[in-house]
Structure 1
Amino acid sequence: MDKKNNHLSVKEKWEKSVSDIVKRFPERKQKFTTSSNIEVERLYDSTVEKDSLGYPGEYPYTRGIQPTMYRSRFWTMRQYAGFGSAKETNMRFRYLLEQGQTGLSVAFDLPTQIGYDSDDPMSEGEVGKVGVAIDTLADMEQLLDGIPLDKVSTSMTINAPASVLLCMYIAVGEKQGVPLEKITGTIQNDILKEYIARGTYIFPPKPSMRLITNIFSFCHDYVPKFNTISISGYHIREAGSNAVQEVAFTLANGMAYVDAAIESGLQVDDFAPRLAFFFNAHNNFLEEVAKFRAARRIWAKIMKEHYQAKNPKSWKLRFHTQTGGSTLTAQQPDNNIVRVTMQALAAVLGGTQSLHTNSRDEALSLPTEESARIALRTQQIIAHESGVADTVDPLAGSYYIESLTDEIEKEVTKYLDRIKEIGGAVQAVEEGYMQREIHQNAYQIQKDIESEDEVIVGLNKFRQDEEVEPDLLKVDESLEREQVESLHSIKNNRDQQLVDKALATLKENARKEDINLIPAILDAVKAYASVGEICNVLREVFGEY
């Protein structure tokens, strides 16, 4: 060995020997990167610099928010379901609960999501198609028939009309005799990401933020176990962001909600413990694990250092995960079972609190009963057969995971600093900053797929000439007529004077910025006023965006 090599470190010697080998056997790529364009080194070792990790259940929660994690109990297996009528969806809910699902997750149809009744001309052709149609409290009663709300928690993917659907849920709980303090669940209630990535908004940002903080305050006083918002990175990722952008834009939105709540007069520790998050799980397995760990650490620092929260529960980032819908392919749909398994495993190794696994046929239609069962079984096999739930934070100490966690934190912090310079998340949304960043990344992803720099098995490589047509779920076209007839029956048989009085009170209160609107919405819901009627009153006062 020459003198020069004597002075090289062990790793440098190894790198030199590898470089000689690479000349003869070139690597697959000149540069390896994650989906967020973070360069992946050939090897990571103990020289990687790490922040203080702490222990599970301790600040900054990099290693998990609970000291025992899944050794005490598994994550909530919360399969997302909803289609057709409330009766049909109730049957699917009961089926999934019988199969071992531990929480409900409701998908609403498009008219419900944007505050239109099923008989509105805007709803034609969309009733019950991408979720369940909910017009009045009667539909919510049917949806939850036979499901005890003191024992089952429910997540509702609803945003602009979140206050209305929450009040319906509370009213059903009251009819079941469940005390408000025992009702558990989550409403998405994240309007900022609608402006950024999804599009089911109704009102302008300012009154939308008012409704959100009204919910924070009301639930703090009356429904203390209900998660008042699920700040969602899922749809940001589905729109084309990378992992870093997903975390950065989600946490920036979270800070905007905290700021709005404090500005409305709430104390940070009064509402922060009930904030929840919703992330995507994509295919770059190890990056996804690191992403979840980094998100926890960043949020803990934000809440403790920036907002000066005193309650440790305010520092904890609790999150639900859904596997990546945009990663699923219509080609060779059984391949999606493998993708979903990897993504679900990444979420579990990253420390998720609840999980939805997509079904193999969701690139083609709403999932069939068989596909939904396979998706649920995927979670159950990970929980009971893989062994990964037997120890806390099983990938901690991986040089690559720890390095990647640090890198993601650095890149997310750069985005947060830029958004702060712009004036915060609301201003960044109004200026289109986040939208542009997502669009640019989505464009690059598409280019990479078309050039085959990014291989999607079965789509741009390893294709089959003949595809087998799977059995798909089809929503009966007669459903829309039946739903409209049911709505008309409710409207014809309710106490119209009571409805008119409740809606008039709501309109009057909406014009006064210092009044919490949730009690008036709850009264309107109990009178069987419809989602559309309530939202139209608010449209009159707030306008549409």
Structure 2
Amino acid sequence: MYNKEKLDAVKAARENWENNKIAKTLAKGPERKEKFMSTSGYEVKRLYTPEDIADLDYNEDLSYPGEFPYTRGVQPTMYRGKLWTMRQYAGFATAEESNKRYKYLLEQGQTGLSVAFDLPTQIGYDSDHPLAEGEVGKVGVAIDSLKDMEILFDGIPLDKVSTSMTINAPAAVLLAMYIAVAEKQGVTPDKLSGTIQNDILKEYIARGTYIFPTEPSMRLITNIFEYCAKNVPKWNTISISGYHIREAGSTAVQEVAFTLADGIAYVEAAIKAGLDVDQFAPRLSFFFNAHNDLLEEVAKFRAARRLWAKIMKERFHAKDPKSMMLRFHTQTGGSTLTAQQPDNNIVRVAIQTLAAVLGGTQSLHTNSRDEALALPTEDSVRIALRTQQIVAYESGVADTIDPLAGSYYVESMTNEIEKRAAEYIAKIDELGGAAKAIEKGFIQQEIQDSAYRYQKEVESGERIVVGMNKFQIQESAPKGLLRVDPAVGEMQKEKLKALRDERDNAKVEESLAELKRAAGTDENLMPYILTAVKQYATLGEICGVLREVFGEYQQSVIL
């Protein structure tokens, strides 16, 4: 972008500034730190100049919004045409309670739904299973059957609302339930829009709500790709998640690298299953975290877009431009919230919201101030949603596309994150791909090491967390927190008993037997799961059949 003569002039001027102005200033007193480090562990220079982006080619590295390599955004007009989807993540207790919360959020101006499921649902157990005891409805809504899904979306028109579901191992079952509910509303599958997370590799890495071993899990994922390409074309069939990788303690660079490595594994699995890359890749989506290091986070999002575009074009020879677009949802950083002085979390979330928007997100969830203590109250959820609305309508940052482009620091950092992430991906390729790297514990160990370094910095005071390790105050116990009624578990058990008494159990058994037979073949399992769901087979019954055929995943122990 700069000719040699101009760069030489910049260099001479910078050296003069350093040798005179800076040297005199430092002689009077040192800077706050000897070194300033990014959260990804590389040094942040005192000043960035054209020298730091001397090799940047505007047309090749940046180009224009909506054009390869999509550094500046995936849509030509970005937020000038349409704002990001404001999609608050919600779900707790029963389907009835969660339905009320969804309607409240939609009344407050939310533009999409995002469903949180309880732990038993996430690992494929019904609410009356012994392992579900004490966990029903605690961290999300309990969904045992199509009956619960009917209640969850009662009065919510599924042809007009986009829904995201954070579900992984049993994603095929919950998607089938959603399709069945829509059909009961008179909405055909081709009218549905939304996303299932469906990202099992990151469960093995960072989260732990897995059920089946790697191979059958990947089969279920590619079955969904194939089924939705033919029947639910507007549905995002996977949300490849860096969010939980970051929550586990990764750096920004690792979040990009490990997420895209997982994405590569899914694309390879789908191609191996006989799918054409341009048949399924346009419906791939991603899910990233937004942390407090504002400018590094903006650079992270831009680097991820550019790197994925190159991967899809150069490695997988995608032809459809939509196959090369990294479209992503963002959630503000749950691990950055503090139980101490929880109102400070409102400020943190505002900074993280800016990072996501300046980075070009397609949808956004903003965490609530009290989530370090409990599930959020309605007041807290409203403030979180208002944070997005104020950024959207009052800040001005959505009025122009990629407003930080051209910043010497942001462009330099975008290059640095892309370079370091690409090096990680090359290392993972050497290990045999993401699945093999997970089996060998490489990715988990890298994240653990980063989390340990971060925690040491906090405990030593090297890294300041306001209100926690500095600027503390005396605080009284928090009041008005949302608590899930322990009776929810018993209520769900009663609903299950009534369901099993009312349904046609012979048809249920027949559908489960057919699913079991198909699981032993290479057939696509989605039609069989959908049939079982429509007969009101429960989530636990369906996953139980698949457990019999596939077995269960055994996690590697990383010390």
Fold similarity call, TM over 0.5: yes
Q: Which residue of 1 aligns with 2:405?
A: 396
CA distance in 2, matches of 1:294, 1:360: 29
Offset, 1:46: 1.8
Alignment partner of 1:260 out of 263, 269, 283: 269
8 Å Cα contact 1:351/1:393 also seen in 2? yes
Q: Secondary structure of the equivalent of 1:80? A: strand
Secondary structure in 1 matching 2:50: coil
Q: What does residue 230 of structure 1 align with?
A: 239
Deviation at 1:21, TM superposition (A): 1.4
Cα deviation for residue 468 of structure 1 reads: 5.0
Q: Verify: 1:16 aligned to 2:19, yes or no.
A: yes
Which amino acid is the alignment partner of residue 48 of structure 1?
A: D
Shift of 1:467: 3.5
Q: 2:221 maps to what in 1?
A: 212
1:321 aligns with 2:316: no
Partner of 1:28: 32
Q: Paired residue for 2:249?
A: 240
Counterpart in the other structure of 2:204:
195
Does residue 516 (structure 1) correspond to residue 520 (structure 2)? The answer is no
Measure how far apart 1:234 and its partner are: 0.2
Aligned residue among 315, 326, 340 for 1:306: 315
Partner AA of 1:117 in structure 2: D
Counterpart pick for 1:45 among 45, 49, 59: 49
CA distance in 1, matches of 2:496, 2:215: 31
**Any conservation in 1 of the 2:10–2:50 contact (CA below 8 Å)?**
no
1:115 aligns with 2:124: yes
Note if 1:383 corresponds to 2:386.
Answer: no
The separation in 2 between residues aligned to 1:281 and 1:198, in whole angstroms, is: 18
Instruction: Deviation per CA, 1:298-317: give whole Å up to 9, x if none.
Output: 00000011100000000000
Are 2:10 and 2:51, in contact at CA under 8 Å, matched by a contact in 1? no
Determine what percentage of the aligned residue pairs are the same residue.
69
Within 5 Å, give how 1:92-103 maps onto structure 2: 92-103=101-112
Give the C-alpha shift of residue 446 in structure 1: 0.6
Partner residue, 2:367: 358
Quick one: distance in 2 between partners of 1:7 and 1:108? 55
| Corresponding residue of 1:413 | 422
Question: 1:271 matched to which residue of 2?
Answer: 280
- 2:145 counterpart (136, 150, 159): 136
CA drift at 1:31: 0.8
Q: Which residue of 1 aligns with 2:478?
A: 469
Shift of 1:163: 0.2
Aligned with 1:322: secondary structure?
Answer: strand
Which residue matches 2:545?
Answer: 537
Q: 2:10, 2:411 → 1: CA distance? A: 28
Query: Deviations for 1:1-42, whole angstroms, at most 9, x for unmatched residues?
Result: xxxxx9970011111120231132200111111100121111
Give the aligned residue type for 1:321.
T
1:118-167 CA-partner distances (Å, limit 9, x unpaired): 00000000000000000000000000000001000100000000000000
1:87 is aligned to 96
Residue 161 of structure 1 corresponds to 170
Residue aligning to 1:3:
none
When the two structures are aligned, how many residues end up with a matched partner?
Answer: 539
> 1:76–1:103: 8 Å Cα contact kept in structure 2?
yes
User: What is the CA–CA distance in structure 1 between the aligned matches of 2:436 and 2:452, rounded to whole Å?
Assistant: 24
Partner-residue secondary structure (3-state), 1:333: coil
SS in 2 for 1:149: coil
Cα pair distance change 1:531/1:7, threshold 3 Å:
closer
Question: 2:523 is paired with a residue of what secondary structure?
Answer: coil
Return the alpha-carbon distance in structure 1 between the equivalents of residues 484 and 419 of structure 2: 46
SS across alignment from 2:138:
coil
The equivalent residue for 1:489 is 498
Asked whether the 8 Å contact 1:220–1:270 carries over to 2, the reply is yes
The CA distance in 1 between the partners of 2:547 and 2:112, in whole Å, is: 33
CA offset digits 1:169-207 (Å, max 9, x no partner): 000011111121110100000000000000000000000
Counterpart-to-counterpart distance in 2, 1:147 and 1:7: 59
Task: Check whether the contact 1:332–1:467 (CA below 8 A) recurs between aligned residues.
Answer: no
CA distance in 2, matches of 1:466, 1:225: 49
| Matches of 2:159 and 2:496, distance apart in 1 | 28
Distance across 1 between alignment mates of 2:236 and 2:190:
12
Question: Which residue is equivalent to 2:6?
Answer: none
Distance 1:508 1:99 in 2: 47
2:434 to 416, 425, 438: 425
1:487 is aligned with what amino acid?
L
Deviations 1:261-292 (A, max 9, x none): 00000000000000000000000010000000
Amino acid at match of 2:541: E
The CA deviation string for residues 293-344 of structure 1, in whole angstroms up to 9 with x for no partner, is: 0000000000011100000000000000000000000000000000000001
For 1:7 and 1:357, the matched residues in 2 are separated by 41
Deviation at 1:432, TM superposition (A): 0.6
Kept in 2, the 8 Å contact 1:136–1:530? The answer is yes
Contact 2:212 2:550 in 1 (8 A): yes
Is the 8 Å Cα contact of residues 457 and 463 (structure 1) preserved in structure 2?
yes
- Give the secondary-structure state (helix, strand or coil) at the position aligned to 1:273: helix
Matches of 1:7 and 1:277, distance apart in 2: 39
Q: CA deviation at 1:470?
A: 3.3
Alignment-mate amino acid for residue 171 of structure 1: A
Is the CA contact (8 Å cut-off) linking 2:117 and 2:166 kept in structure 1? yes
1:295 and 2:304 correspond: yes
Q: How high is the TM-score relative to the length of structure 1? A: 0.98
Matched residues in 2 for 1:124 and 1:239: separation? 26
User: What is the CA deviation profile of residues 380-435 of structure 1, one whole-angstrom value per residue up to 9, with x for unaligned ones?
Assistant: 00000000000011111111000000000110011001000000000001111000
How far does residue 67 in structure 1 lie from its aligned partner after superposition?
1.0
User: Is the 1:357–1:376 contact (alpha carbons within 8 Å) kept by the matching residues of 2?
Assistant: yes
The alignment's TM-score, normalised by the length of structure 2, stands at 0.96
Asked if 2 retains the 8 angstrom alpha-carbon contact of 1:38 and 1:407, the reply is: no
Q: Is the 8 A contact 1:331 1:467 kept in 2?
A: no
Any idea what SS the aligned residue of 1:367 has?
coil
1: CA distance between counterparts of 2:263 and 2:42? Answer: 25
In the alignment, the residues of structure 2 paired with residue 193 and residue 468 of structure 1 have an alpha-carbon distance, to the nearest angstrom, of: 35
Following the alignment from structure 1 to structure 2, what is the Cα–Cα distance between the partners of residues 479 and 137?
Answer: 18
* Matches of 1:307 and 1:297, distance apart in 2: 15
SS in 2 for 1:78: strand
